[in-house]
Chain A
Amino acid sequence: MAIKSYIEAVTDALAEEMERDPSIFILGEDVGVRGGVFRATAGLIEKFGEDRVMDSPLSESAIVGVSIGAAMVGMRPVAEIQFADFIFPAYNQIVSEAARIRYRTKSDWTVPMTIRAPYGGGVHGALYHSQSIEALFMNVPGIKIVMPSTPYDVKGLLKASIRDNDPVLFFEHKRCYRLIKGEVPEGDYTIEIGKADVKREGTDVTVITYGLMVHYTLEAAEALEKEGISVHVLDLRTIKPLDREAILEATRKTGKVLIVHEHGKFGGVGGEISAIISEEALFELDAPIGRLAGPDVPAMPYSPPQEKFYMLNPTKIADAIRKLAEF
């Protein structure tokens, strides 16, 4: 099996899907000749031409709105928003349109569209090139939100997203793009959307997380093993729909749960997971559910010490796990 980077897995999935289905096309800023500002679409315009790897005007609402229109009449667009932070001009198109078109027509019209967007901090991206925005979409029924952590998951989940007949937000952690490498099978496979994955088996504390934080948690778990603390790591992979069964199973495994995510705590993904556990597995718990998240400030500053202060890291995660283990 080949070792690929996270971003190579994105490119491979796109190329293979476009090869397979001529109704798939890519629409976004700089996705063509430049191959994307992160190079996620590198080489695709050469392979598929400028009609299928289309540079759009700098116009996010049009990128999504045009994709919705094309999807309704039978195309399968993969829109790219250059940074997740810039998705808000298209928020109305995603929330009021894409998410509701199936519902408001009882499936007469549907939107088989994927929106890819790089998110996340730790790249000196400051307030507008660092955000995690999943919480802002999480309570919007009608869309799916996929946030993979490994190259293997990226490829399988991106293929599944493109083939899905509902709109999918596919958020890629930009710090993972070149940092994270892993085994990726050649050829076709998909991973079911909505299924979490146990990334490490353990018996003392369960950590439920996703994205870059999976890797930081695995690092923390490695360190804690030497202290005799065994950590169970559940990678959600999909934020919407949440894998309730996997969350409950992981809870029962240790009776102590820490939820870790990069964005702020208030109104975040962790609150929902915590509520699910409280509603359905309260008596399995041996300690209060912990949430480790970014601070509730608008976004992370450019100043390096402040960015570092904002971001979680393996040490902060290990500290939180240790506290829970000792409870």
Chain B
Amino acid sequence: MSKLNYKEMGLTDEQVLDMYYYMLLARKIDERFWLLNRAGKIPFVISCQGQEAAQVGAAYAMDTAIDYLAPYYRDLGCVLVFGQTAEDIMMSAFAKPGDPNSNGRQMPGHFGGKKYRTLTGSSPVTTQFPHAVGAALAAKMRGEKSVVYTSTGEGSSNQGDFHEACNFAAVHKLPVVFYVENNGYAISVPLDKQLGNHNTADRAVGYGFPGFSIDGNDVLEVYQTMKTAVDRARNGEGPTLIEARTYRLVPHSSDDDDRAYRSREEVAEAKTKDPLITFAQYLRDHGVLTPEKEQEMNDRIMRDVNEGTEKAEKAPFFAPEDTLTHVYEE
């Protein structure tokens, strides 16, 4: 549980409750995905479970009116903070019109949407890093105060684009925060086979900007570190690299079986540190999350998730011939 005092950090009761709300919303949407998938209603799920604190704490430190996200596929918590709703996400899961991420063209988790200030992402990993740098470069050129967040997993941090983007941003002191959600596994491959140095934040020294490795289960620590990085970027001091140490509580995707590569004991141990559980307890201990508030929040979230699911399930698909549109400007 967090040792930080949210009030000393300048956060209000409403704000910490808000953070918990987004974490819980992400979790509940994600849980619904798995039910829908196992019921044969949606073909694919990629999960955020276990990483909600790392995501919500980071996005919450940003200004959703002027900043940009260039997230990776697990960042459901981030895009919710930037305004996507349960209904938006369900439209994406069911590949229906109204999906703001791709209008049903991409698999779930391929986030995007201009109105949510979220750059579009793809499946080849870490390609969004240079895009984030480009958006930051544009902001700097135009004298705008925007900061860009971009994230990836620790496995994906080995791609060349990671290095090319970090170096480019360093040279031009661009307002971007590079964020690694280190959940210990790249699908099945553990840290030992993935990284010579398990701390990806150490790389920052090589690029010439600060790097921090933090507890990704502690939403307050995440927020605090991210806030420092965002402030730095906004003040023209350049990029920061943050590694959030976290854990993926479920298999990589709906097509994966994690029993092949990690023990049930390990997963059970990780679940005792589940940020949803520990942050809820923290908020109860501080008298912020009262039973009434908790009930109210749960009801609201379940109502939104249910309504979103129902709407998305009932919505018609695009016509098959829609496949041929939007290749070039029309």
Contacts and interface: CB of A to CB of B under 8 A. Distances in A.
B39 interface: no
A139 interface: no
Interface size class of B (residues with CB under 8 A): 35 or more
A61 B325 CA distance: 28
Given A103-B105, A106-B102, A65 B129 contact: yes
A265 B218 CA distance: 60
Interface size class of A (residues with CB under 8 A): 35 or more
Contacts of A71: 134
Contact of A62 (B120, B123, B139, B165): B165
Contacts of A97: 122, 127, 131
Interface in B206-227: none
Contacts of A150: none
Contacts of A36: none
A74 B105 CA distance: 23
Contact of A57 (B68, B112, B171): B171
B164 A61 contact: yes
B112 A108 contact: yes
Nearest to A166: B328
Interface string B97-138: 000111101100010111000011011100101111111111
A185 interface: no
A261 interface: no
A309 B295 CA distance: 80
Interface string B135-170: 111110100000000000000000011001101100
A96 interface: yes
Contacts of B127: 65, 92-93, 96-97
A59 B139 CA distance: 21
A75 B144 CA distance: 13
Contacts of B136: 69
B103 A62 contact: no
B120 A108 contact: yes
Contacts of A142: 327-328
B292 interface: no
B138 A73 contact: yes
Nearest to A100: B122
Interface in A228-244: none
A141 interface: yes
A104 interface: yes
B141 A106 contact: no
Interface in A3-55: 25, 51
Interface centre among B70, B119, B131, B325 (most CB of A within 10 A): B131
Given A65-B164, A104-B122, A51 B135 contact: no
B134 A68 contact: yes
- Report, nearest first, the 9 A-B pairs whose CB atoms are least far apart: A69-B134, A65-B130, A69-B131, A62-B164, A70-B134, A66-B134, A106-B103, A70-B138, A59-B164
Interface of B: 68, 70, 100-103, 105-106, 110, 112-114, 119-120, 122-124, 127, 129-139, 141, 160-161, 164-165, 167-168, 171, 325-330
30 contacts: A25-B141, A56-B168, A57-B167, A59-B168, A62-B130, A65-B127, A66-B131, A66-B134, A67-B134, A69-B135, A70-B134, A70-B135, A70-B138, A71-B134, A72-B120, A72-B135, A73-B119, A92-B124, A92-B161, A93-B130, A96-B127, A105-B103, A105-B112, A105-B113, A106-B102, A107-B326, A108-B114, A109-B114, A144-B328, A166-B328
Given A69-B132, A102-B326, A102-B327, 10 more contacts: A62-B165, A65-B131, A69-B130, A103-B326, A104-B105, A106-B105, A107-B330, A108-B113, A141-B327, A142-B328
